[in-house]
Amino acid sequence: MSKNKCFIIAELSANHGGKLEIAKETVRAAKRAGADAIKLQTYTADTITLNVKTDDFKIKQGTAWDGQYLYDLYKEASLPWEWHKELYSLAKEEGLVCFSSPFDKTAVDFLEDLNTPIYKVASFEITDIPLITYMASKMKPMIISTGIATIEDIELAIEACKSVGNNDITILKCTSAYPAVPEDANLRTIEDIAQRFGLNSGLSDHTMGIETPMIAVALGAKMIEKHFILNKNIGGADAHFSLDESEFKQMVDAVRLTEKLMGKVDYEMTDKKNKSREFSRSLFVTQDVKEGDIITKENIRSIRPGYGLHPKYYSKILGKLFNQEVLRGTPLSIEMINQK
């Protein structure tokens, strides 16, 4: 990951349609769209919840998934573990970083066998301190989403990483709504995270469109994660708030343009700036004058172009005398003025 370039992650999530070929083509499309990385999720329905059909396990949060039981949703959405090796290998061929969010210790062990380069703590797992500690103990860079987190939750997660000597931590501002509405984005938190915790910050974005990542980068985000789908007609649990290839490419281009626009703090005078100064204002003689004439508001003015004396001298030279004849339209110079 470059320090000067935002790291852009395409989140595969449940957008595989239950078919390995769709998952593989999604990896290729992520590369075409300009992503730096493709992220998976490593769990089974049994490692993330229980197959219990009681009200506690039924989704009723005002989401697109309401009415489903957790077990059934995760069984449909999960990425088969036997696909991981092939997807990691394909991503490497494509020049993409491939990593995952594990949801239990067995998933961490499985990903270690694949030599995963990064671990991501999903929003709803930020309270699972034992799991975070175990991930961090593998000494890979840690990415932590904050969707449901209090400040204390974030502090505990950071402490868990640091307790095992892992200080490579990026915190992502996240709104755990699918999709998230603009008034809940609160992107100023990205700046606060960096200042408050002294860590890199970024955005895990669930809003619709591409504007939110652009603003996040302007506010200092070093990482952007966005759900990615090959084609929304595939359907699935996350299709309704994911970007397709064309939309993701627009987002990447917008982020890269934002980075160029933000640039750096710069007061240096370049050749181009110096050339442009020719159009700045300067003091010119505006009436024909003779030697001994008094310099007045009528015979000198601050105008464009910038070949004459700097306007800062205007008040100081009023009342002095010309020491030579000067024609109207001549740039005023200090040599034309009697200094006595």
Tell me the DSSP string of 36-59: SEEEEEE--HHHHS----SGGGB-
pLDDT (0 to 100) of residue 2: 60
Under 8 Å between Cβ of 230 and 29: yes
Q: Are residues 238 and 196 in the same domain?
A: yes
Q: Are residues 242 and 289 in the same domain?
A: no
Q: Are residues 216 and 328 in the same domain?
A: no
Instruction: Tell me the C-alpha distance between 212 and 96, whole Å.
Output: 23
Domain assignment of residue 13, yes or no? yes
Q: Are residues 287 and 257 in the same domain?
A: no
Instruction: Tell me the C-alpha distance between 324 and 154, whole Å.
Output: 75
Q: Are residues 38 and 182 in the same domain?
A: yes
Domain assignment of residue 60, yes or no? no
Q: Are residues 225 and 277 in the same domain?
A: no
CA-atom Rg of the chain in angstroms? 30
Q: Are residues 196 and 278 in the same domain?
A: no
Q: Are residues 307 and 219 in the same domain?
A: no
Domain assignment of residue 83, yes or no? yes
244, 262, 280 — which closes off a domain? 262
pLDDT (0 to 100) of residue 294: 97
Instruction: Tell me the C-alpha distance between 320 and 201, whole Å.
Output: 60
* CATH number of the domain that residue 107 is part of: 3.20.20.70
Write down the residue that tokens 């110096």 correspond to. 274
Domain assignment of residue 193, yes or no? yes
262, 279, 304 — which closes off a domain? 262
Strand, helix or coil at 311?
helix
Domain assignment of residue 207, yes or no? yes
Under 8 Å between Cβ of 242 and 227: yes
pLDDT (0 to 100) of residue 178: 79
* CATH number of the domain that residue 330 is part of: 3.90.1210.10
Q: Are residues 214 and 319 in the same domain?
A: no
Residue 29 belongs to domain spanning: 7-43+78-262
Q: Name the helix (H) or strand (E) containing 32.
A: helix 20-32
Under 8 Å between Cβ of 283 and 301: yes
Backbone angles phi, psi at 167, to 5 degrees: -110, 5
- Tens-binned pLDDT, residue by residue, of the chain (340 aa): 566 799 999 999 889 999 999 999 999 999 999 999 999 999 999 999 999 999 999 988 777 778 889 999 889 889 999 999 999 999 999 999 999 999 999 999 999 999 999 999 999 999 999 999 999 999 999 999 998 899 999 999 999 999 999 999 999 999 887 788 999 999 999 999 999 999 999 999 989 989 999 999 999 999 999 999 999 888 877 788 899 999 999 999 999 999 999 999 999 999 999 999 999 999 999 999 999 999 999 999 999 999 999 999 999 999 999 999 999 999 999 999 998 7
Domain assignment of residue 214, yes or no? yes
Domain assignment of residue 52, yes or no? no
| Domains of the chain: total | 2
Under 8 Å between Cβ of 7 and 39: no
pLDDT (0 to 100) of residue 3: 65
Q: Are residues 196 and 308 in the same domain?
A: no
Q: Are residues 303 and 225 in the same domain?
A: no
Under 8 Å between Cβ of 234 and 15: yes
217, 232, 262 — which closes off a domain? 262
pLDDT (0 to 100) of residue 64: 72
pTM of the model: 0.86
Domain assignment of residue 64, yes or no? no
Backbone angles phi, psi at 284, to 5 degrees: -125, 150
pLDDT (0 to 100) of residue 1: 58
Q: Within 13 Å of residue 172, how many CA atoms lie on the same side as its CB?
A: 28
Q: Are residues 130 and 231 in the same domain?
A: yes
Residue ranges in 137-187 assigned as alpha helix (H) = 151-163
